[in-house]
Amino acid sequence: MKRFTLFSILFLIAFTLSAKNVFIQKATIQRTVGDLQKNSKLAASLLTKGVNQAAAFWTEADGSQEDFIAFCNENCCKNSAEKEVLFHRLCDNFESILGHNNRVTVELSLPIHVSGYTALPVDERFAAYNSIAHLNSDMFDNKIAFVVILNFPHFTLKEKTENAEKWSSLEWGYARLGDLFTNRVPAEKLQAITAATAAADNYISNYNIYMGRVKTNDGQQFWNKDLKLITHWGLRDELKAAYADHETGKAKQEVIYSIMKTIIDQTIPIDVINKNKYIWYPTANKLYKEGGTIGIYGEPEGEVRYQYLLNNFKAEKAADAYYTDNSTFIDRTFNDDLEISQSDIEKLFTAYMKTPEVEKVAKLISKKLGRKLRPYDIWYNGFKNRSSVDERTLDRLTQQRYPNKEAFVNDLPNILQTLGFTKEKADFICRHVTVDASVGAGHAWESLMKSDNARLRTRIGEKGMDYKGFNIGIHEFGHNVEQTFSLHNVPNYFLVGVPNTAFTEALAFTFQQHDLQLLGFNSEDTVSRYYDLLDNFWSCYEIMGVSLLDIRTWQWMYAHPDANAEQLRDAVIELSKSIWNEFYAPVFKVKDQTILAIYSHMIDYPLYLSAYPIGYLISFQLQNYLEGKNLGTEVERIFSQGKLIPQYWMQKAVGSKLTVTPFVRAAGVAADKVSAYEKEQAAAAKKSKK
C-alpha cells in the first residue's frame, strides 16, 4: 500500500474554490483586469481567471479594494518568460517546504511504524502532529498563495480534459500548481483530520491475533505459539496460504473466517486482541484458561472499531463547510484526488461484477476445490503458481535468504536486474530507497524532495523475513520504483507523482506478481499467464465489492451525521450484506454474508479502497502493453510522465484509455484455456495410472 504522496499532502491543503467571501466588488475585479490587460502580454482569459479566483479568497483582513488592485498590478507576470521564471522559483521553494516537512513527519512517526522502538504514550501524539497544518493559512497570510492563484489559476477537471493534449509539460505544471491553493480551511481542521487518521492507524497497526492460542471447537490447534497475525492483512494472507494445505487447510480457513466475523460484529473479546492470556475458541467465541475446562464469554470489543471510522468521518465533515463545489469528502476524493467521478467508478465496478465471466471463473474455482464455494473463497489463491508450493517451504526459503533487513537491502539491486532494469538504473533506484522493518503489515512512503529517500516498510521477524513479508516487500518496492522515477524524472516539481493512487498500485501489483519468479519458482509459459490473469480477475472482483462498501458506508454517514458508533456498526453490517447479496450471492449461492467489512483500510485509510480495483484494471492494460518489451525501460518511460489526468496518462502510457472490457474478455478466454488444460492433465494422469 502506498501511504503518502505529494498530492495526498496537497490534498489536505487544497481541493476546490471557495466563493463564500464576497469582499472584493465586481467593479474592483473589472478595473483590475483592465489594468492588467494594458500591462501584460499574457492571454486575457488567463488574466481574468486569475483575478477572479484571487478575489474569491481576498478578505477585509487582507487589505482594501485599492490594496487588492495594487497587489495584482505588482505581482502579476507581464509575459511568458517572467511567468516561467516565477514557476521554477516556486518549484524549488515548495520542494524545500514540502520535502523537509514530509521528512519531519517520517521521523516523528518512526516509533509507530518501525519495529525496534519501545512504545511510549507520547508516540501517537507526535505521529499525529502535522507540521504543515498551518501552511495553507500561512501562505494566504503572507500572500504567497495570492501570487500563485493570480498567475497560475485553477482549472477544473473538465478544462484539464479539454486541454490535455494541447498543453506542454510546462503548461501541465502550471495547471498542477493551480491546484495548490483552492480553499482556506483553518489549520485546526486539518490538524483534526491528521489526528483522527493517525489514531486509527495506530489502532489497526497494533491489532494482532495470537494464533497459537486459537483452537477449533473440537480442540485442534494449527499454529505455533509465536505466530501473531495483524487484521486484516495477516489473517487474510494466512487464509489464502491454507489453500496449499490439503489436509487441514479448510479447517484453518473456517477458524480464520470465524475470527473475522467476530471482528466485524465486534463480539471479539478484548482479551484476545494483541494478548495471549487465554485460549480462544472463536467459532463458539469462548475463552479458556490454560488447562481449564470452563469456558467464558469475554468482554466484547463493542464498537471501538467503528468509533475510529466515525472519528475520521467527523474530522473530514468538519472541513466541508469550507468548500462550495465538491463539498463532501466523497466528492473531493473522487473528483479531485482520483480525478474519476464516484458515479463513473461505480459504473465500472458494477459492470465488471455482473459479467457472466465472473460465474464462469467461480465454477472453475469450485471444480478445482472439489466443493461448493464458501464466502472466504473471495480470496481463493489457487490460480497462483505459489498455491502449489507450501507456505512453510517459502518461509524457510525467504528466511534463509533474508535473515535480516540488511540481506534484503543488499539484494534489491539484483531483484531489479532480474526484472529487466540495467545495473546502473537499479543502483540509482536503490540509492533513493530506505528499508525499515515494519510494525504494521507494510507500506511505502515517498520522498517529496530529491535529496531525501523513499521508504519501504515490511515485516521482518526475529527469524528473518517470511514469505508474507517478502511478498508485501516486493509490492511496496514497486511503489518505491514509481516514487523514484516520478520524483527524479518528471519535467517539473508540480508534475511529481502519478494521476492517482491507483496508478502506483498498478506498478506495485506488477512487481508483486513476479515474487515467485524472484524466488526461482515462476515460469513464463502461456498457461502460467492464464493462471495469473484469472488470479487478478478474481482479486479484482473481490476488492470491487469491498470498495463499494467503503463508498456506501461514507454515503450512509453523510446521510446520518449524528449516528453513534453502534448505529454505524449495524449499518456497515447491513450494507455489507446488501452488497454481498447483489454481487456475490448469485455466484456463491449463500446470502447475508458480512465478510466484505473486514478490511482495515475502511478504518484507517478513508475511501482509499477504490484505488485497488482501478489499479488492477490499469495493471492489466499495463502488463498487456509490457508483454514482450523490456520492463525496466518501459516502466521508466511510463512513470516519468508525471501527474497528468488519468485517461490522458493511460493514452500516453499504453495507447488506450481505462476500461473493464478487455480484462473481462481476457478472463473468459483464460477460464476456457485453463479448463481445457486441466482436463488434459487429468486425462493424462488417469492414462498413466493404467
- Residue 271 contacts by C-beta under 8 Å, 6 or more apart in sequence? 277, 278, 287, 298, 299
Report the distance separating Cα 301 and Cα 256, nearest Å. Answer: 18
Task: Tell me the backbone φ, ψ of residue 5, rounded to 5 degrees.
Answer: -135, 165
Q: Looking at residue 4, what is its pLDDT? A: 44
* Long-range CB pairs of 340-343, under 8 A, 24+ apart, other chains included: 340/500, 340/614, 340/646, 342/551
The candidate with the shortest Cα–Cα distance to 598, out of 376, 286, 377, is 376
Q: Tell me the DSSP string of 385-418.
A: GGGGS-HHHHHHHHHHH-SSHHHHHHHHHHHHHH
Question: By three-state DSSP, how is residue 551 classified?
Answer: helix
Q: Residues 547, 517: contact at Cβ < 8 Å?
A: no
Q: Looking at residue 16, what is its pLDDT? A: 37
Ranges in the chain, pLDDT < 50? 3-20, 386-387
Q: Residues 57, 149: contact at Cβ < 8 Å?
A: yes
* Long-range CB pairs of 345-349, under 8 A, 24+ apart, other chains included: 345/547, 345/551, 345/610, 345/614, 346/548, 346/551, 348/613, 348/614, 348/617, 348/660, 349/544, 349/547, 349/548, 349/613
Q: Looking at residue 35, what is its pLDDT? A: 96
Report the distance separating Cα 88 and Cα 81, nearest Å. Answer: 11
Report the distance separating Cα 535 and Cα 623, nearest Å. Answer: 14
Report the distance separating Cα 404 and Cα 469, nearest Å. Answer: 12
CB neighbour burial string for 49-80, b if at least 16 within 10 angstroms, e if fewer: bbbbbbbbbbeeebbebeebbebbeebbbeee
Q: Looking at residue 338, what is its pLDDT? A: 86
For the segment 554-572, what is each residue's pLDDT rounded down to a tens digit? 999 999 999 999 999 999 9
Q: Tell me the DSSP string of 13-67.
A: H--S-------S-HHHHHHHHHHHHHH--S-HHHHHHHHHHHHHH--GGG--HHH
Supply the DSSP symbol for 266.
T
Q: Residues 600, 231: contact at Cβ < 8 Å?
A: yes
For the segment 54-67, what is each residue's pLDDT rounded down to a tens digit? 998 899 999 999 99
The candidate with the shortest Cα–Cα distance to 205, out of 310, 314, 114, is 114
- Listed in sequence order, the DSSP H helices in 328-454 are 329-331, 342-353, 356-369, 391-401, 405-418, 423-431
Residue 12 corresponds to which cell in the numbers above?
489536505
Q: Residues 77, 145: contact at Cβ < 8 Å?
A: no
User: Hey, which residues does 214 pair with through a beta bridge?
Assistant: 280
Q: Looking at residue 539, what is its pLDDT? A: 94
How many CB atoms sit inside 10 A of residue 266's CB?
A: 17
Q: Residues 245, 390: contact at Cβ < 8 Å?
A: yes
Q: Looking at residue 465, what is its pLDDT? A: 93
CB neighbour burial string for 295-321, b if at least 16 within 10 angstroms, e if fewer: beebeebebbbbbbbbbbbebbebbbe
Q: Looking at residue 326, what is its pLDDT? A: 63
The candidate with the shortest Cα–Cα distance to 115, out of 450, 400, 367, 460, is 460
Q: What Cα–Cα distance (Å) separates residue 22 from each residue in 58, 179, 223, 228?
A: 8, 21, 65, 58
Report the distance separating Cα 575 and Cα 370, nearest Å. Answer: 31
Q: Is the peptide bond before 88 cis (omega within 30 degrees of 0)?
A: no
User: Hey, which residues does 438 pair with through a beta bridge?
Assistant: 114
Q: Looking at residue 14, what is its pLDDT? A: 43
Q: Considering the entire predicted model, what is its pTM?
A: 0.77
Residue 492's region, left for phi above 0, alpha for psi from -120 to 50, else beta, is beta
Q: What Cα–Cα distance (Å) separates residue 593 from each residue in 565, 577, 582?
A: 21, 5, 11
Q: Residues 455, 15: contact at Cβ < 8 Å?
A: no
What are the sequence ranges of the domains in the chain?
2-184, 204-265+267-301, 309-383+524-654, 390-496+508-520
